[in-house]
Amino acid sequence: MSKQTYVPSLLDLFRQFGYDGVTLSKISQVTGLGKASLYHHFPGGKDQMVETVLIALEQGLEQIISDTLQCEGDTIARLQMMCDLISKAYSGGQKPCLLAALMLGSAKDVFQGRVQTLLQSWIDAIATVLTEAGMNEELARQRGENGVIAIQGALILSQGLGNPAPFQRVIERLPTELCQEL
C-alpha cells in the first residue's frame, strides 16, 4: 500500500493528540504498521508523516478553492459551498483542527511556515471572491481573515464545549456575514 493510504488515520491522530501526543506505538496501532514498515513508508519519521498530511490538506484546500470559490455564480452561494465542504471536512464541528494542534508544543517551530501558507491561501481565496463581487481590497482581506478566524475559533469552541452547535451556527451564517455591505 502507498503511504497515502495512511493519511486519513494520521490526520485523525494528529488532530486528536497533537504532534507531541502522537507516539509511534499509537501510529502503529491505528495504521496496523510495525515500526519497520512505518519507517519504510515514512523514513523521515513523524515529521514526514505530518508533511504528508499537510500536503493532503493543501490539496484539499486547493480543491475547495477551485471547486467553489473560483467557479462562476452568486458570491453567497460560492461561499456557502466552501462552508459546506469545510463543515464536511470537520464532521460538522466534531473533529478538531490539525492546524491549531500543530501550533502547540514543539511542532510550532517545524510547521509554522506550512500552516501560515495554508491559512494565507484560504484568506486570499475568500478575499478574491469578495473583491470580484465589488468589495474594496482592504475590507475583502479583513473579511477573509474574519472568515478564517470565525471557522477556526468555532472549531476550538465546539471542541472545548463538546458541542458542535457553535461551529454549525458559524458555518450557516458566515457567507451572509462576509458579504455584508456588498
Residue 31 lies in a domain: no
Query: What tens digit of pLDDT does each residue of 83-130 get?
Result: 999 999 999 999 999 888 888 888 899 999 999 999 999 999 999 999
For residue 65, what is the DSSP state?
A: I
Residue 37 lies in a domain: no
Distance CA 14, CA 31 (A): 13
Q: What is the CATH number of the domain that holds 153?
A: 1.10.357.10
Distance CA 102, CA 17 (A): 10
Residue 92 and residue 83 in contact, taking contact as beta carbons nearer than 8 Å: no
Query: What tens digit of pLDDT does each residue of 15-36 get?
Result: 999 999 999 999 999 998 898 8
Q: pTM value? A: 0.88
Highest mean pLDDT pick, 3-7, 52-56, 134-138 = 134-138
Residue 124's domain comprises 53-178
Residue 6 lies in a domain: no
Query: What tens digit of pLDDT does each residue of 43-97 get?
Result: 999 999 999 999 998 898 888 887 888 888 899 999 999 999 999 999 999 999 9
How big is the chain by its Cα radius of gyration, in Å?
17
Distance CA 73, CA 54 (A): 30
Residue 27 lies in a domain: no
Residue 45 lies in a domain: no
Number of domains in the chain: 1
Q: Is 121 helix (H, G, I), strand (E, B) or coil?
A: helix
